[in-house]
């Protein structure tokens, strides 16, 4: 089973090393912290927190990273930096799944979010779940009831789901995911001044998917994991359809209002929900393996 400080005997400095590496990376490339938060969602939602997300396409494995749902994900190469630091201290000891979880925890802290009392001891999958990814990860224009049921099946309740979406208080969205709200007609639920800003950021209804046209998730505090996201939603400045629906749907809107008015409450709920997500269906015992290189299953 997962436990607090699982590596206290086998690699006592493991959690400290992840923290140091995440800090160093943040100082060089601030958006790595944002990536670590999204990674936990995309790994843990899809079957298990098993680092399946980190596998690259090679010898029979098709990477989850090339799925449409993973669009825009970045900084995977720096996961290897963290793992190499762990390997040089304690070879073949700390799993990539725990690197995903611990780096997300430290990323949240770098972005001014709450501390999460994570457990460790996850093992790594020997396979990718690329073929079933759409059964687990919601799409940006799915209904709230579908989104809630996806999170429910990983043990996250409605209040926790509303809190987790608060991760969209940091980072960016590419225009391909936004143009459906801007063209041919602007979604009437969007604040007009905000829609004008989005149209400046995304001037064409058919953006080149390979160009880096994007809008910030939160124009006010783009690198702070705070409740500005909920204030934006109340001001009709939700970026994705799924974001905006959190306020129009009566099952979620009371939580949006509470989180908008109290950053401490948002942080408490975010921390609680990240913990639940991080404990989704871990591989333990002798299931799976401890990958040497997070990109590939061990050979032989
Ligand atoms: C219904 C659930 C969710 C949907 C449909 C969704 C969808 C998306 C989409 C479409 C993007 C923009 C990708 C791009 O264009 O580059 C994005 C970005 C992001 N999402 Fe979510 N998301 C969801 C929930 C979450 C959760 C639960 C977390 C973390 C706890 C999260 C963390 C992030 C972060 C940090 C970014 C910014 C990434 C960056 O700037 O590199 N999302 N999400
Ligand atoms: Ca996974
Ligand atoms: Ca923010």
Q: What is the pLDDT of residues 209-260, one digit of tens each?
A: 677 789 999 999 999 999 999 999 999 999 999 999 999 999 999 999 999 9
Q: What pLDDT does 211 receive?
A: 75
Neighbours of 291 (CB within 10 A): 24
| Across 181-193, average pLDDT | 95
Question: What is the percent of the chain where pLDDT is above 90?
Answer: 95
Q: Could you check whether the bond before residue 197 is cis, i.e. omega within 30 degrees of 0?
A: no
Marked catalytic residue, from 42, 129, 236, 267: 42
Please tell me which residue, 209 or 79, carries the higher pLDDT value.
Answer: 79
> 4-13, 54-63, 106-115, 200-209: lowest mean pLDDT where?
200-209
Task: Report residue 141 CA to chain centroid gap.
Answer: 17
Q: Which of 79, 168, 269 to mutate to test the pocket of ligand 1 (most atoms within 8 A of CB)?
A: 168
261 CA to centre of ligand 3 in angstroms: 14
Please give the Cα distance from 71 to 37 (Å, whole number).
15
- Which residue from 10, 37, 174 is spatially nearest to 116, judged by alpha carbons? 37
Ligand closest to Cα of 48 equals 2
Please give the Cα distance from 59 to 50 (Å, whole number).
19
Q: Which of 68, 72, 213, 243 to mutate to test the pocket of ligand 1 (most atoms within 8 A of CB)?
A: 72
Q: Is the pLDDT of residue 70 over 80?
A: yes
Please give the Cα distance from 228 to 230 (Å, whole number).
5
Reported pTM: 0.97
How far is the CA of 266 from the CAs of 120, 165, 291, in angstroms? 24, 11, 35
Q: What pLDDT does 212 receive?
A: 79
Name, in order, each residue with C-beta under 8 angstroms of 271's C-beta and a sequence gap of 6 or more.
113, 114, 115, 116, 117
Cα diameter, the chain? 60
pLDDT band for position 208 (50/70/90)? Answer: confident
| Across 118-144, average pLDDT | 97
Average pLDDT, the chain: 96
Are 246 and 165 contacting, i.e. CB atoms less than 8 angstroms apart? yes
Question: What is the percent of the chain where pLDDT is above 70?
Answer: 99
Q: What is the DSSP string of 118-170?
A: --B--BB-SS--GGGHHHHSPPTT--HHHHHHHHHTTT--HHHHHHHHGGGGS
> 105-114, 118-127, 141-150, 208-217: lowest mean pLDDT where?
208-217
Q: What pLDDT does 77 receive?
A: 97
Query: HSE (CB half, 13 Å, CA atoms) of 224?
Result: 9
User: What are the phi and psi torsion angles at 227 (to 5°)?
Assistant: -85, 10
Residue identified by tokens 């913990």 is 275
Ligand closest to Cα of 224 equals 3
pLDDT tens per residue, range 11-27 = 999 999 999 999 999 99
| Across 169-178, average pLDDT | 94
Please give the Cα distance from 196 to 224 (Å, whole number).
24
Q: What pLDDT does 300 receive?
A: 56
Residues with CB under 6 A from ligand 1: 34-35, 37-38, 41, 71-72, 74, 138-140, 147, 164-165, 167-168, 170-174, 177, 240, 242
Q: For residue 115, indicate whether it is catalytic.
A: no
């Amino acid at each position: 089973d997962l436990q607090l400080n699982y590596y206290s005997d086998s690699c006592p400095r493991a959690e400290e090393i992840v923290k140091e590496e995440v800090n160093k990376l943040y100082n060089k490339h601030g958006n790595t912290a944002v990536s670590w938060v999204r990674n936990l969602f995309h790994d843990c939602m899809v079957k298990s927190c098993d680092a399946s997300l980190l596998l690259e396409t090679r010898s029979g494995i098709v990477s989850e990273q090339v799925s449409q749902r993973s669009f825009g994900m970045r900084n995977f190469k720096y996961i290897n930096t963290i793992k190499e630091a762990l390997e040089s201290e304690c070879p073949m000891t700390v799993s990539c799944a725990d690197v995903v979880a611990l780096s997300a925890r430290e990323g949240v802290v770098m972005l001014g979010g709450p501390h999460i009392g994570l457990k460790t001891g996850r093992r790594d999958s020997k396979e990718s779940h690329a073929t079933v990814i759409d059964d687990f990860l919601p799409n940006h224009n799915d209904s709230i009831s579908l989104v809630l049921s996806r999170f429910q099946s990983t043990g996250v309740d409605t209040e926790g789901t509303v809190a987790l979406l608060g991760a969209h208080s940091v980072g960016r969205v590419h225009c391909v995911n936004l143009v459906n709200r801007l063209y041919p007609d602007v979604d009437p639920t969007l604040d007009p001044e905000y829609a004008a800003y989005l149209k400046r950021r995304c001037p064409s209804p058919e953006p080149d998917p390979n160009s880096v046209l994007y809008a910030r998730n939160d124009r006010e505090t783009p690198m702070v994991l705070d409740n500005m996201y909920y204030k934006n939603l109340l001001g009709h400045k939700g970026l994705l359809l799924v974001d905006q629906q959190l306020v129009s749907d009566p099952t979620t809107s009371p939580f949006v209002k509470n989180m908008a008015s109290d950053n401490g409450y948002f942080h408490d709920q975010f921390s609680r929900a990240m913990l639940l997500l991080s404990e989704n269906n871990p591989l333990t015992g002798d299931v799976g393996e401890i990958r040497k290189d997070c990109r590939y299953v061990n050979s032989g």
